[in-house]
C-alpha cells in the first residue's frame, strides 16, 4: 500500500484561494492627478492625452493593520481600470450616445467610447521622488472625446485572490 499523497503541499494555481491573499487590505492613492485636458473629438488622428497622466500608488495592510511591502512577484496579477464619470459621480460617461451615428433602419441608440486609450493598467514597481520603492499604476494614454467636467474612477482588481 502506498502512503496517501498530501495535497496540502501543492500550491493553488495562480495563488487562488490562499488565505493570505484574502487577509490583505489594499488601498489606492492618487499621487498625480490631472486637472485639465483638451477634448480630442471623434477623429482618430488628433489624440490629446490627459496631461499630466494619472498615477496611483497601491498600499497594502495585513488583517492587523500592519503595512505589507509588495514585491513584484506578488503583484503580477494586479490591475486597475479607469472609468469616466460626471462631477456628481452618479453617471458613467465612459460611453456616450451619438445620434449622428445611428442609422435610420436601426432604432437602437449607438454608443461610442468617450474615454479612449489604455483604460487598464498593470502594476509597475518604481521608486518615488524620495527613492522609496512602491507599486504604481500609470495611465499615460487616456483621452476624452467630449467637452465637459469629469471625474476619473479607478477600480482595483487582484486576479490572484480568486
Over residues 41-91, the pLDDT tens digits come to 676 666 788 889 999 999 999 989 999 988 888 888 999 999 999 999 999
Q: Residue 7 pLDDT more than 50? A: no
| Domain residue limits at 152 | 13-161
Q: Let me know if residue 157 belongs to a domain.
A: yes
Contact 119, 93 (CB under 8 A): no
pLDDT tens for each residue of 83-93? 999 999 999 99
Q: Let me know if residue 32 belongs to a domain.
A: yes
Number of domains comprising the chain: 1
**In this structure, what CATH number is given to the domain that contains residue 142?**
2.60.40.3960
In angstroms, the CA 160 to CA 162 distance is: 6
Q: Let me know if residue 146 belongs to a domain.
A: yes
The position carrying cell 476624452 is 144
The answer to whether the predicted template modeling score (pTM) of the entire model surpasses 0.75 is yes
Q: Residue 100 pLDDT more than 70? A: no
Cell numbers describing residue 76: 503580477
Q: Let me know if residue 8 belongs to a domain.
A: no
Q: Let me know if residue 5 belongs to a domain.
A: no
Q: Let me know if residue 1 belongs to a domain.
A: no
Give the residue among 142, 139, 137 at the shortest CA–CA distance from 122.
137
Q: Residue 2 pLDDT more than 50? A: no
Listing DSSP states for 18-44 in one string gives -HHHHT-EEEEEEEE---------S-S
Q: Let me know if residue 81 belongs to a domain.
A: yes
Amino acid at each position: 500500500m502506498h502512503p496517501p499523497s498530501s495535497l496540502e503541499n501543492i500550491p493553488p494555481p495562480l495563488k487562488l484561494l490562499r488565505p493570505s491573499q484574502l487577509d490583505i487590505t489594499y488601498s489606492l492613492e492618487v499621487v498625480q492627478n490631472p486637472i485639465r485636458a483638451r477634448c480630442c473629438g471623434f477623429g482618430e488622428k488628433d489624440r490629446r492625452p490627459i496631461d499630466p497622466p494619472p498615477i496611483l500608488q497601491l498600499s497594502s495592510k495585513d488583517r492587523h493593520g500592519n503595512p505589507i511591502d509588495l514585491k513584484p512577484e506578488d503583484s503580477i496579477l494586479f490591475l486597475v481600470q479607469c472609468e469616466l464619470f460626471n462631477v456628481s459621480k452618479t453617471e458613467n460617461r465612459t460611453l456616450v450616445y451619438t445620434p449622428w451615428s445611428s442609422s435610420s433602419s436601426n432604432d437602437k441608440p449607438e454608443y461610442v467610447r468617450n474615454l479612449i486609450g489604455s483604460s487598464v493598467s498593470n502594476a509597475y514597481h518604481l521608486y518615488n521622488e524620495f527613492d522609496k520603492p512602491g507599486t504604481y499604476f500609470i495611465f499615460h494614454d487616456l483621452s476624452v472625446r467630449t467637452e465637459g467636467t469629469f471625474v476619473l474612477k479607478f477600480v482595483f482588481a487582484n486576479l490572484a485572490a480568486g
